[in-house]
Amino acid sequence: MHQEPGRGYVLGVDAGGTSSRALLTAADGTVLGTGRSGGANPNSHPPAEAAAHIVEALAAALDAHNPGRVRACVVGLAGASKLTDPAVAELFGKAWAGLGLGCEVRVVSDAEAAFASATSAADGTVLVAGTGSIAGRIRQRRRIATAGGYGWLLGDEGSGFWIGREAVRSALATLTADREEPGPLARAVLTEALGAHEAHGTGLRTAHRLITTVNGQPPVRLARFAPLVSALADTDEAAGTIVGEAAAHLVRIALASRDAGERTPVVLVGSVLGEGSPVGARVREQLAGVDVLASSDGVAGANWLAAVEAFGEQAPRPLSG
């Protein structure tokens, strides 16, 4: 249904750790502009830089359109909790005040935008597993509680970081026991960490080199070993075990964020839960009977949340973009 242009525009932003994208649409869902800039997670970027990237993406999406006609603007922000710091919140507020929008900017978590990108349901669960992992309880399209998500040191079970760490631990267990020949996963870990010339190393010396190399890098770098586990899940026993344990952890936190017997959708987000991922396949199997959906595009979800705010529950989703 075509809406008259006088109803104004809505803006949505997906502000992640590596990039920020903005989407401007009309009341009928027609895409009027898009914008892109750098990462805007205020936990991994200086807050001033993060805010500037969001403003740059918004300004690019607006282009020549009148910012005063923007009826609603929703920013799905990775690291949104950082805005509980009044100084950071003030910095962000001042940054986008200069755009002259005809509305307040509403910040939601990137998980809320991801949930809205996959379903029009108001209630459900969002399960995120990329480098980290967390499950969120969604009520009236807002995340009201979480399970997991404690970071690499205290949790993030089933995440890319956790899977990568388990791959290295599995390789070390074989090398230090010196009772069996390292299998395909151990060899792949050694190749990734130490180079092809070390792929067939054995014993304590190789184990110690692996320990030293891994401990000499930022902890998040452990996530680079996760794809090795996925690639070998069907042919290597150790990799298959890790995949099974990762899926069990993720299902556990997803169910922890739901009521017993709840039938609302579960939206999966992140590379670990992708269609081609063995962990994602196991999670889908274990959630059989529940409507399991995949997040499509966070910027579209944020834009639709803005459309609902401006035009009501029947607001159409972006038609393209």
Q: Does one domain contain both 103 and 172? A: no
Please report whether residue 291 resides in a domain: no
Q: Does one domain contain both 47 and 101? A: yes
Amino acid at 19: S
Exposure string for 143-161, b = 16+ CB within 10 A, e = fewer: beebbbbeebeebbbbbbb
Q: Does one domain contain both 17 and 89? A: yes
Structure token pair of residue 41:
């997670």
Q: Can you tell me the distance from the alpha carbon of 169 to that of 234, in angstroms, rounded to the nearest whole number?
A: 19
Domain limit, last residue, from 237, 257, 281: 237
Task: Tell me the sheet residues that pair with 13.
Answer: 22, 75
Please give the C-alpha separations between residue 309 and each of 77, 141, 250, in angstroms, as whole numbers.
18, 11, 32
Q: Does one domain contain both 114 and 9? A: yes
The torsion defined by the Cα of 257, 261, 265 and 269, in degrees rounded to 10, comes to: 40
Please report whether residue 222 resides in a domain: yes
In 10 A of CB 198, how many CB atoms? 15
Please report whether residue 70 resides in a domain: yes
Q: Which residue has the tokens 């001033």?
A: 48
At 1 the pLDDT is 35
Please report whether residue 126 resides in a domain: no
Question: Average pLDDT by consecutive 10-residue portion of the chain (321 residues)?
Answer: 62 89 94 93 88 95 94 92 91 92 92 92 93 91 90 88 96 86 93 87 90 92 95 96 97 93 92 92 93 89 95 86 49
Q: Does one domain contain both 67 and 165? A: no
Please report whether residue 41 resides in a domain: yes
Task: Read off the pTM.
Answer: 0.84
Q: Does one domain contain both 11 and 108? A: yes
Please report whether residue 27 resides in a domain: yes
Let me know: does 213 contact 194? Beta carbons within 8 Å.
yes
Please report whether residue 174 resides in a domain: yes
Domain interval for residue 49: 5-118+297-311
Q: At 136, phi and psi to the nearest 5?
A: -125, 140
Cα radius of gyration rounded to whole Å, the chain: 22
Beta-strand runs (E) in 104-175: 105-109, 124-129, 133-139, 142-148
Structure token pair of residue 173:
């267990």
Let me know: does 17 contact 298? Beta carbons within 8 Å.
no
Residue 278 backbone zone (phi > 0: left; psi -120 to 50: alpha; other: beta): alpha
Q: Can you tell me the distance from the alpha carbon of 12 to that of 8, in angstroms, rounded to the nearest whole number?
A: 14
- Measured at the CA of 50, the angle between CA 39 and CA 215, to 5 degrees, comes to 60
At 37 the pLDDT is 94
Q: How many domains does the chain have?
A: 2
Looking only at the bridges linking them, the beta strands covering 70-77 and 9-15 are parallel
The CATH code of the domain that includes 88 is 3.30.420.40
In Å, how far from its chain's centre is CA 313?
A: 26
Please report whether residue 281 resides in a domain: no
Domain limit, last residue, from 193, 211, 237: 237
Q: Is 169 exposed, middle or buried (0-12, 13-18, 19+ CB in 10 A)?
A: middle
Instruction: State the angle between helix axes of 110-118 and 298-311 in degrees (0 to 180), rounded to the nearest 10.
Output: 80
Domain limit, last residue, from 186, 205, 237: 237
Q: Does one domain contain both 114 and 24? A: yes
Q: Is 262 exposed, middle or buried (0-12, 13-18, 19+ CB in 10 A)?
A: middle
> What would you measure as the largest C-alpha separation in the chain, in angstroms?
75
Q: At 205, phi and psi to the nearest 5?
A: -60, -45
